[in-house]
Amino acid sequence: MVKLHIWVFIILIYLLDFGYGDAIEVPPLNINQKDLMKHLSLVDIKIALPVIYVFSDSFVDNGNNKAILGNKDASGGGCFPFGIDFDGKPTGRVTNGRIGVDFIATVAGLPYPPPIMGILYTLGARKFFVSNVSPLGCSPFNINTKNHSGPCVEEIKNCASVYNDLLLGLLAKLQSTLHVKPRSYGFKDVNTSCCIDNNGTRIQVCAPNIAPYKDRKNRVFFDPFHPSETMHFLWARHFLKDSSVCSPINLIQLMQA
């Protein structure tokens, strides 16, 4: 019987227990593998993967929702303003530009992952990168619609931490560095989204065909639920290089295994 090696990575989406970070410079849209590796200070590393399959929720969805819901449904990232920084075209990614898996695919020497639905294991999938639950109580939607005294809605955030504690037990000191020291990462706003809803509240799904705010690079969230391209690049960079947010090894080490 063939022995299967399944690598399970438990990821702290918002890098909760980090100290001071460095300001984020998102690389250009069409950057190639060599230049992105240089941008990430990943020198003398050779990586060549045949394919990457992505399956998860809308945080890393690369177009499956758009294929299901159609081009007019804002919740699936199928219409403007989603994709405003992806050549101005909505792709089904629920953010302004690329998502974290796009950067990871480029590092692996692959094109951006297309929408894929199917039975992955029978297709040969053997290495898995599994994300935990993000601090849901810190999203703009919950911050602006629930009663709370701190920077986040603790009751909701604690529900996510219960799951994460059971998943690996790494989140005993759950706290959001980005909410405490956002400027150390170059963020100026961690509580509100870039896009505008029909009511002008910025706590609902983005209104179709209305331009978002221009300071997208300085915000953690693009809509009330999903990260901006800058935030996606931040977590992709840490997943690739930092074993303190990936267990048992980082993503570069997984690619080389």
The CB density around residue 226, as the number of other CB atoms within 10 Å, is 25
- The confidence score (pLDDT) of residue 252 equals 92
Q: Where are the domains of the chain?
A: 33-256
Whether the CA torsion 124, 115, 9, 172 is positive or negative: it is negative
Please, are residues 49 and 109 in contact by the beta-carbon 8 Å criterion?
yes
| Residue that wins the pLDDT comparison between 73 and 212 | 212
Question: Which pTM does this prediction carry?
Answer: 0.71
User: Looking at the predicted structure, is the pLDDT value of residue 98 above 80?
Assistant: yes
Structure-block tokens of residue 127: 């290495």
- The confidence score (pLDDT) of residue 173 equals 37
d(CA 127, CA 64): 21
The CB density around residue 163, as the number of other CB atoms within 10 Å, is 11
For residue range 56-90, list pLDDT tens digits in order. Answer: 778 888 877 766 666 666 566 888 999 999 999 88
What phi, psi does 142 have (nearest 5°)? -75, -35
Q: Count of alpha carbons within 13 Å of 140, Cβ hemisphere only? A: 25
What contacts 86, CB < 8 A, 6 or more positions away?
A: 29, 93, 96, 97, 98
